[in-house]
Amino acid sequence: MAKAMHHDVIVVGAGFAGLYGVYRLRNDGWDVLGIESGSDVGGVWYHNRYPGARCDTLSVDYSYSFCEELQQDWNWSERYAPQAEILSYISHVADRFDLRRNFVFDTRVTRTRRNDETGLWAIETDTGRHYTARFVLLATGPLSAPADPGIPGLAEFRGELYRTSTWPHDPVNFAGKRVGVVGTGSSGVQSIPEIARTASHITVFQRTPAFAVPARNRTLTPEELGRFKQRYPEYRRELRANFTGLTMQSTGKSAAECSEAEQRRALDEIFEIGSLGIVSTFTDVLFNEEANAVVAEYVRQSIRERVKDPEAAEKLLPKTYPIGTKRPCLDSGYYEVFNQPNARLVDLRETPIERVTETGIETSAEHIDLDMIVLATGFDALTGAILAIDPVNGTGKRLSEAWRNGPETYLGLASAGFPNLFLISAAGGTSVFGNMVTVAEEAIDWVAEALAWLKQEGLDTLEAKPDAQQEWTRHVAEVGNSSLLPGTNSWYVGANIPGKPRSFSVYLGGFNVYTAKCREVAANGYEGFSAR
């Protein structure tokens, strides 16, 4: 085997988190290498280039805050930025700070094993090149490992087969084609209207209907952008002080504290804005069934109004789970697709897919001929990309084994028994319930400060203590269990992956509370970690 190349720190991933990780740690004087499986920077925004892909949080929020000049110079063109613009922003950041020189691309980490004697992690990759590092940051993303939909016969299909999560770089032409889309989560809801625009026919295979509200996306005027820029640092501080790190709409009251007329007014207002804030209209939407039902019924009514055929509308109504317990979607013309003559909805709860054939999809009721199949079937969320790297500690224990009952972390930043392996935007933190860019910046800053502290103290190892991890994991579960989320089959609990242990492991105590806790731990000499 070729000799391993050594670096102080290895960062896996060149998405928002990995790029900032390399930037910050390099600035701090570490010899850092980033490893990325894609051919360039961007992470999920590099791979998920399906038509209609765009952010469903505000562009001015979903961007880096670490550099005032950067946020002053960059001009977002739309309220919700399209994938291409986000990718060019990420690319701009890589150019501006000359970050690509610290990365190797087209390189997938296949295994990460620690040697307790040397205190080094050995990183194996699919290129045959190997690396060692004392510190490893897994900036691999909570929604980046595509899920296998497990549909029999997929390999037999002779038409064009695409996955939204690994969309080709060359344009895909839908014109004149009979397209089948499987999956109606965010990726399906965003891509279906774009595909329906030019396909000769689109069949949407829906297993569970989504709750989607109109995005009301539009261009940002220079005046609007100017208003943000005038007070960007202050705006960022305000966001960091709230529950998600994102612009939130809320009455600040529980549903029961509002009269029916007030409830209606608040929902109308937020619905008109076009925001996922619809699920934070009342403080208890995710925690109280009655409050949830008010919002869920409001959104169901909006769907009835948007879909002309009452039978199709009925099938599109989500009725089997509380709103917000599967991630809701922002749509741009999704429901209106079902008013088009070239579109059809197949309800898989009535007629499940039996198999894919050479020429289409066979349900329990019929064979549907297709020229193209698009799989918008989701991700092995939160743990999939981390476990794909197969971390093994110095005693030979796999992280997958340590997490056999679900992920256990201390603050979402580290897992006991796996020293110097840091997790970014992972289970146990606010992760997917926060502003993913700010969540990553906070985690990276925390790790960077921890590494600087170790160096200053003449130490080189930080490891979560089992009892601190146990207590934190219990707390995360306790807060989660006070909400409606664990009861729904969703990717949040791993229910979309056969055999995955069911666990709700996102910290729902709030981004502000979480970051304060992380800071307190650091201020108390990394309380709950053993440093040596």
Q: Rounded CA gap, 498 and 483, in Å?
A: 24
Q: Rounded CA gap, 286 and 282, in Å?
A: 9
376 or 444: CB nearest ligand NAP: 376
> Sign of the CA dihedral 522, 525, 527, 529?
positive
Distance in Å, CB of 277 to ligand NAP, minimum: 14
Contacts of ligand NAP in 393-432 (CB under 6 A): 432
How many residues lie near ligand NAP (CB under 6 A)? Answer: 28
DSSP code per residue over 30-73? --EEEE-SSSSS-THHHH---TT-B-SS-TTTSS--S-HHHHHH
Distance in Å, CB of 427 to ligand NAP, minimum: 14
Instruction: Give yes or no for a contact between 425 and 142, defined as CB atoms under 8 angstroms apart.
Output: yes
51 contributes a contact to ligand NAP by CB under 6 A: no
- Which residues, at least 6 apart from 418, have a Cβ–Cβ distance to it below 8 Å? 114, 391, 393, 399, 402, 463, 464
Q: Rounded CA gap, 185 and 207, in Å?
A: 10
332 or 393: CB nearest ligand NAP: 332
Contacts of ligand NAP in 290-329 (CB under 6 A): 327
203 contributes a contact to ligand NAP by CB under 6 A: no
Residue range at the interface with ligand NAP (CB under 6 A); choices 273-281, 297-305, 370-378, 466-474: 370-378
188 contributes a contact to ligand NAP by CB under 6 A: yes
146 DSSP β-pair partners: 379
110 contributes a contact to ligand NAP by CB under 6 A: no
Site string for ligand NAP, 124-163 (x = CB under 6 A): -------------------x-----xxx------------
362 DSSP β-pair partners: 355, 367
216 contributes a contact to ligand NAP by CB under 6 A: no
Distance in Å, CB of 187 to ligand NAP, minimum: 3
111 or 216: CB nearest ligand NAP: 216
Q: What's the angle, vertex CA 202, arms to CA 197 and CA 204, rounded to 5?
A: 120
23 or 321: CB nearest ligand NAP: 321
451 contributes a contact to ligand NAP by CB under 6 A: no
Contacts of ligand NAP in 348-367 (CB under 6 A): 348, 353
274 contributes a contact to ligand NAP by CB under 6 A: no
Distance in Å, CB of 391 to ligand NAP, minimum: 24
Give Cα 423 distance to the centre of its chain. Answer: 14
Burial letters for 402-434: b for 16+ Cβ neighbours within 10 Å, e otherwise? bbeebbbbbbbbbbbbbbbbbbbbbbbbbbbbb
42 or 185: CB nearest ligand NAP: 185
The H-or-E segment that residue 268 falls in is: helix 260-273
Q: Rounded CA gap, 501 and 400, in Å?
A: 11
Among all residues, whose Cβ is closest to ligand NAP? 185
284 or 331: CB nearest ligand NAP: 331
244 contributes a contact to ligand NAP by CB under 6 A: no
The H-or-E segment that residue 421 falls in is: strand 421-423
3-state secondary structure (DSSP) of residue 26: helix
The length of the chain is 532
Residue range at the interface with ligand NAP (CB under 6 A); choices 1-9, 48-56, 293-301, 356-364: 48-56
**Which member of 43, 183, 412, 480 binds ligand NAP (CB under 6 A)?**
183
What would the two tokens of residue 446 be? 């925390």
301 or 320: CB nearest ligand NAP: 320
The H-or-E segment that residue 269 falls in is: helix 260-273
Residue range at the interface with ligand NAP (CB under 6 A); choices 120-128, 317-325, 371-379, 440-448: 371-379
**Which member of 34, 180, 185, 419 binds ligand NAP (CB under 6 A)?**
185
Distance in Å, CB of 402 to ligand NAP, minimum: 25
Distance in Å, CB of 216 to ligand NAP, minimum: 15
**Which member of 25, 376, 413, 416 binds ligand NAP (CB under 6 A)?**
376
Q: Rounded CA gap, 154 and 149, in Å?
A: 10
Kindly give the interhelix angle for 511-523 and 436-456, rounded to the nearest 10 degrees.
Answer: 0
Distance in Å, CB of 208 to ligand NAP, minimum: 3
Residues at the interface with ligand NAP (CB under 6 A)? 54-56, 143, 149-151, 182-188, 190, 205, 207-208, 327, 348, 353, 376-379, 432, 491, 496
